[in-house]
Structure formats: C-alpha cells, structure tokens
Chains A and B, each alone.
Chain A
C-alpha cells in the first residue's frame, strides 16, 4: 500500500503550555486504509489529526502529507485539496442555506466548471445517502444528516483522504450509525482513505487498523483484534474494550475460553457455539 502521510519525529506544543501534547511521534498512514485513532481526552489524538491537515504545524520534526511538507505555508492549499476534515460539532461546519449549495461551496472556490460541480455534488450526496435532501435547509436536518452533508462537502472536493475528529460525539445512536455506514461506503466504493478519531470503541471494531494514543505517543498500533487483546493496558490508560470482548474475558477467568477475536455480538455468538 502507498504511504500517503508520514510523521517523522514530530513534537508539538501549544504555545502557552509547558508540556508537549505530541511527543516525538513517528507514524505513517496508507492509501485506502480505514484507520481508527483512540485515546482519552488530552492524549493528543485531535492534535495529531490537525497536524495531518496543516491546521497545526509541528514544533519539531516534520509531517509530509501527499508529498507536501505541512510546515511550508505554500503547500497548505495542495494539502487541503487532498485531505478533507470533518469536525465534532455538526452546527459549526455548514455555510450555505441549501444542502446542495453547501456541498458545492468547495468546488466553486476551486473554480470547477458548473456542469462538473453539478455532477460532483450529486455523486457526493448519493454516496452519503443525502441526495433526497439536496434542496433542504441544513439547519432543519438532524445531527447525523448534517455530518453526512459535511462529509459530502469533502467528497465533492475530490479529496483522497478524510480525517474525522470525533464526528459522532454529539449524535444519537441512529445518527452515529448513519455516519458510520457512510464512511464504510466511502472506503468500499471509492477507495477513500479514512482516519477516524473517536472515543467509541465499537466504531473501531470494523476498522482495518487501530492506533491508540497516550501522552502524545502511539502505544498500540495494529488490527482491532491485536490492539483490543491488550485489555488491561487499555483500561490503565483510560480506555475500555468492546463489551462483547469484555464479557468473553470474564468468562475466560471462569474457565470458558471463547478466544480473543470476539469484538462484536456476531463474533461472540459464533464463538459461543463452540463451547
């Protein structure tokens, strides 16, 4: 797989703080991968997300996104054309008064021809399942719908990668599911690279790769099965593991072994058949 984002010895601190939020971080992200970044509040995961997209610049070391060094101001536009970002609050990201105008905002600014914009907007809204709402007013949509419009805005820019910083934190369970389904479609149908920062362990179980941050460094990096096998360590840094796995581990203590690849209720119930 092609390496598209590269962190080399990156440190970062907010100017008025003494300690570093990101501490000599080395990590790469690959094309087409769905990566989930976990960590407690203050672990540095959101800061890392902003370093990818040249919102934050490293205090030391370098971040290279799609071949462009983020510290060079001239690269900013090129980086943002490749990487879209979606934030936590659905109400802060929408600029237009009609859904399709909002999605068209990015390509319009790039000077994309009118017919091409029409095509991109329709495609983007279809893939996040918001096409039927294209003429609606955004402020009347639910949180999950607003977040999907924000995602469509990034797709219409034809970015190759989307970074999402806790996009479901303010949504209800239905909205969360809608957004997660949209992300899976982006990956499967468009081959989009997705970097999802989240607190919800159950959103990580379907990812290709899980990265766990603590005190500004990566402490686990692997498949969901590999990472969640470190249950005790994860708990000690303020995270939990998916509930089906937690239940399986409790049963294991009593002598009933379901294995460690039981992150979902489906996997749990299948493993349970073998007891």
Chain B
C-alpha cells in the first residue's frame, strides 16, 4: 500500500474565464512509506498546485487523492485525517508565524488535534529539539529570531503534528550554503528516524541529488519523468530543454563531453566527479 496516491488529477485555474489555464492535466503518482521524493519543474509547471492537493487545500475537479487507501474527500473525518497526516510547509514558511512565543506557534497544530496539555508540551519539545533549537527559544517571540531560525520554528510547527507525510515547498530557498546543508541534513534525519515520507519541491538540483531517493519532473501540468536521481539526471540535455537546470558538476561533465572527452554524463556530486575523472585519467594513462 502506498501512503499517498494521486489518481488522474486534473485542475484548472480561472475556470470559465478567458484566463483559464490547465495547471494539472491528468497526473497519477504514488508515494511510498519512508521515501524522500524531490519534485522539480520550472515556475508554472504545476508543482505547487500538485502539493496543495496532497493535504486537501485544493479539491480535485477530476481524479482523486488517496491517503492510506482512503479518498481524502470521502467524508469530513477523512479530510481531517489527511490534514493532520500530511503536513504541508509552504515556501518561506517564516512569513506565517503569528503567535507571541515560539512555544505557542509550534503548539498550534497539536492543539487543533485536540491533544492533552501534557501531550502538546511533549510534542513541542520534541519538535523544537528536532529542528536543532534549544529550549531557551520557547519563550522568545518568533519575530525576534533570525531568518534561518524562524524557518526552523515554522517547520517544527508542522513536525509537531507528527505527519506521516511531510511536504515542503522549496524549504531551502534564500538560505546560505551552511543553512541550506543544515536544513537538508535535518530533513534526511527526520525521514530516517521517524520513517515519515518526505516530498519536497526544489529549484536546486544539487539539493535534490543530495537527499532524494526519487525525482519527479513536472512540465506543463504533466509528470514527464519519474525515477531515481541517477535515471532522471542522466537525461541532462532533456532537462535543459525543459528549462530546468542540471547540477553544477553535471554541467562540467557535459562540457567535457562536448570537448571530446569520453566521460560519463550521469555525475552529480563533487565526490563522484573526482572518482570518475581519476578513473578516466588512469584508463587513458594505461592506453597511452
């Protein structure tokens, strides 16, 4: 059983007006327990629209979303179950903090779930610890924190509901290299230690290569690629045609190939790149 299934989902914006745009044109995809899925696609490809369907923020016009084999729109209870079971963290989530203390902000979700006060407290402490903030932060105002800290608080607010699926829209946008790596480590750690499924949208191909098990590529409302990082990224030229980027290291290898060197094109990280080039140089040394 998949934790989340999308079946033939269609959605149009501005329906019935001259500005009608098909945002999703029949998307079907399954998400499995415990996997990390990276979703890429240029602006307007439909990826945010897809994300907003996953926890019932948008209601499908056609097709359905199954959460643990149950159509999320089949009853009031099923929508509610999905809202808590699939935690959605928007782009720039730090803009959505609103309570007067970090504790209250993180506690908002668990409170709505109707948990007891003790349970709420436990959840908040756990979530804040997860995102790498100390207990000293709990009584601070979230508005006094730095951008990176605010984002952690916002993510803690979703984690505190212990969702089976954590959905993040561009979690690393605007962070510096260290902030970005810390956050990616945290997402990976959360996935490994809780077994939760993670689905995240990113423009950064290097981020996706670093932590995703599987990659979905959206273009014009359709899923055009779906596979492992290796399988998808090795189609570098097609990705560039879709207006997407390839990882910086892949670009180096594509350039080397263009100049006549017989090196592979499915290389995404510095470490792998180094191994492949040394292999190439040694092979050439032996032949020459």
Contact = CB atoms under 8 A, between A and B. Distances in A.
B249 A41 contact: no
B224 interface: no
B111 interface: no
Interface string B87-105: 0000010000000000000
A199 B175 contact: yes
B244 A41 contact: no
Given A175-B43, A269-B255, A243 B174 contact: no
B1 interface: no
Interface string B152-188: 0000000000000000000001111111000000000
B148 interface: yes
Interface string A7-41: 00000000000000000000000000000000111
B243 A243 contact: no
A116 interface: no
Contacts of A199: 174-177
B64 interface: no
B76 interface: no
A254 B274 contact: yes
B146 interface: yes
Nearest to B271: A250
Interface string A257-275: 0000000011011001101
Interface centre among B92, B270, B278 (most CB of A within 10 A): B270
Interface string B262-273: 000000001101
Nearest to A266: B255
B42 interface: yes
B177 A239 contact: yes
Contacts of A158: none
A174 interface: yes
B43 A268 contact: no
Interface string A171-196: 11111000000000000000000000
A272 B261 contact: yes
B78 to A, nearest CB: 34
A256 B270 contact: no
A213 to B, nearest CB: 11
A143 B206 CA distance: 21
Given A172-B203, A256-B278, A268-B252, A250 B173 contact: no
A269 B178 contact: no
A268 B249 CA distance: 11
B111 to A, nearest CB: 30
B174 A169 contact: yes
Question: How extensive is the interface on chain A, given as a class?
Answer: 35 or more
Contact of B259 (A170, A242, A273): A273
A266 B259 CA distance: 10
Contact of B42 (A172, A240, A256, A275): A172
B30 interface: no
A143 B43 contact: yes
A40 B180 CA distance: 11
Contact of B179 (A41, A169, A170, A242): A41
A214 to B, nearest CB: 11
A250 B146 CA distance: 34
B277 A251 contact: yes
Interface string B247-288: 111011011101101000000001101100110010000000
A96 B252 CA distance: 42
Interface in B226-261: 243-245, 247-249, 251-252, 254-256, 258-259, 261
Nearest to B248: A243
A25 B79 CA distance: 56
B60 interface: no
B44 A142 contact: yes
A123 B36 CA distance: 48
B147 interface: yes
B176 to A, nearest CB: 4
B146 A242 contact: no
Contacts of B251: 265
A175 B44 CA distance: 12
Contacts of B177: 40, 199, 201, 238-240
A77 interface: no
12 contacts: A41-B148, A143-B43, A173-B42, A173-B245, A199-B177, A239-B176, A243-B247, A244-B249, A247-B277, A265-B255, A268-B252, A269-B256
A-B complex: 3 closest residue pairs judged by Cβ atoms: A243-B248, A238-B178, A173-B245
Interface of A: 39-42, 88, 142-143, 166, 169-175, 199, 201-202, 238-240, 242-244, 246-247, 250-251, 254, 256, 265-266, 268-269, 272-273, 275
Given A244-B249, A268-B256, 8 more contacts: A42-B146, A172-B203, A244-B252, A250-B271, A254-B274, A256-B281, A269-B259, A272-B256
Interface of B: 42-44, 92, 146-148, 173-179, 203, 206, 243-245, 247-249, 251-252, 254-256, 258-259, 261, 270-271, 273-274, 277-278, 281
